[in-house]
């Protein structure tokens, strides 16, 4: 855990019908406990990526609550857009999970804690 951050999960899964599908939610153990995740199909616009975040309960935490600083939501949006483009540019990527992505205070960026990628043979 990195102090002064929130953990989120970002992911890609290639669907035979829709192509690359992106996932966002609270990271670490919370993704399994709360199952508060959203999905979008690549490529994502800024508005679509932002909406993926805003429709989760995680958004209330990320925008700052109970005296806590807001986190760098724009960096998550940028990461989702770039992951979508990565999946389009490299069709051999079948799955990719970043969990956790430590999201720092607003304007400070994020740090990948762990990532896993599955490639097509």
Q: What is the average pLDDT score of the chain?
A: 95
Helix (H, G, I), strand (E, B) or coil at 36: coil
pLDDT of residue 120: 93
Q: Note the pLDDT tens digit of each residue in 87-121.
A: 999 999 999 999 999 999 999 999 999 999 999 98
pLDDT digits (tens, 9 = 90+) for 31-68: 778 889 999 999 999 999 999 999 999 999 999 988 88
Distance between start and end Cα atoms, the chain: 34
Average pLDDT over residues 75-82: 99
pTM of the model: 0.94
Sign, CA torsion 11/15/21/24: negative
Domains in the chain and their CATH numbers? 6-119 (3.30.470.20)
Q: Helix (H, G, I), strand (E, B), or coil: what is residue 18?
A: coil
pLDDT of residue 50: 99
Residue pair 23/41 in contact (Cβ under 8 Å)? The answer is: no
Q: Which two tokens stand for residue 63?
A: 């925008």
CB atoms within 10 A of CB 74: 14
5-39 pLDDT, tens digit each: 999 999 999 999 999 999 999 987 777 788 899 99
């Amino acid at each position: 855990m990195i102090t002064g951050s929130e953990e989120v999960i970002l992911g890609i899964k290639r669907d035979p019908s829709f192509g690359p599908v992106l996932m966002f939610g609270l990271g670490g153990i919370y993704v399994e406990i709360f199952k508060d995740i959203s999905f979008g199909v690549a490529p994502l616009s800024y508005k679509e990526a932002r909406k993926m975040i805003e429709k989760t309960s995680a958004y209330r935490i990320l925008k700052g609550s109970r005296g806590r600083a807001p986190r760098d939501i724009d960096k998550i949006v940028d990461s989702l857009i770039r992951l979508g483009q990565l999946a389009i540019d490299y069709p051999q990527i079948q799955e990719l999970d970043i969990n956790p992505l430590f999201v720092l205070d607003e304007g400070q960026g994020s740090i990948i804690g762990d990532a896993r990628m599955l490639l097509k043979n």
